[in-house]
Amino acid sequence: MAEKYFAELEGLWRQNKKTSPMRGYLKPPYPSWFQRPKSLRGPDLVRELQRLRAMTGDRRFKDALVALGEHHIVDAKFNFLPWEMPFLAQERADFERETCETVHVLKTRHGASLRNACAVVAALLGWPATSFAAAIKDAELIYRRHLAKDGPQLPRTKLEKSCSTTIPTTANS
């Protein structure tokens, strides 16, 4: 029975994967001139900025070094970090948070196991992955990461908040 259920969800996942709103998160459509060259190395860039700062005495080179650190473009050893534009990072974070809230509601309100809840979410969203099992695992890992970060109680959805408020009536008085 469970195998048939997961087979149906996998079919739905394959169908929704083609039109998934998350497809752009794998490889954003940057033009080739906008992407960082593969041959560029962080330590080389930082050393060159330091050399230019020392040779010219121009504080703008120091400001460039500070900006690389503040924007988390390079780490403490001056190696490039994986980086995406702030608005894309915010969109991804919001989408992941809403996904986690959905998994949480499926678990708490409908009594689904974590694996089943993640399977339903992955299937409905067409979660980008090489296989349905990988999509389930990815959704589960994101849920666990948010659970560890936000604590045992995930932020409640707007719908859940609106349903839990009471409307004062004359019977409450």
pLDDT of residue 91: 80
Q: What is the DSSP string of 46-113?
A: HHHHHHHHHHH--HHHHHHHHHHHHTTSB-TT-PBPP---HHHHHHHHHHHHHHHHHHHHHHHHH---
Cα separation of 110 and 123, whole Å? 17
The model carries a pTM of 0.56
| Cα distance between the two ends of the chain | 51
Q: What is the pLDDT of residues 108-138, one digit of tens each?
A: 888 888 888 999 988 888 888 888 899 899 9
Average pLDDT over residues 17-26: 64
pLDDT of residue 146: 85
Domain count, the chain: 2
Same domain? For 54 and 104 the reply is no
pLDDT of residue 154: 46
Q: What is the pLDDT of residues 27-43, one digit of tens each?
A: 555 666 667 777 888 89
In whole angstroms, how far apart are CA 107 and each of 34, 35, 113, 163, 171? 42, 40, 6, 18, 33
Which range marks the domain in which residue 45 is found? 32-70
Same domain? For 126 and 142 the reply is yes
pLDDT of residue 153: 54
Same domain? For 49 and 134 the reply is no
pLDDT band at 155 (very low <50, low <70, confident <90, very high): very low
Same domain? For 62 and 134 the reply is no
Residues of the chain with pLDDT > 90, as a percent, come to 18
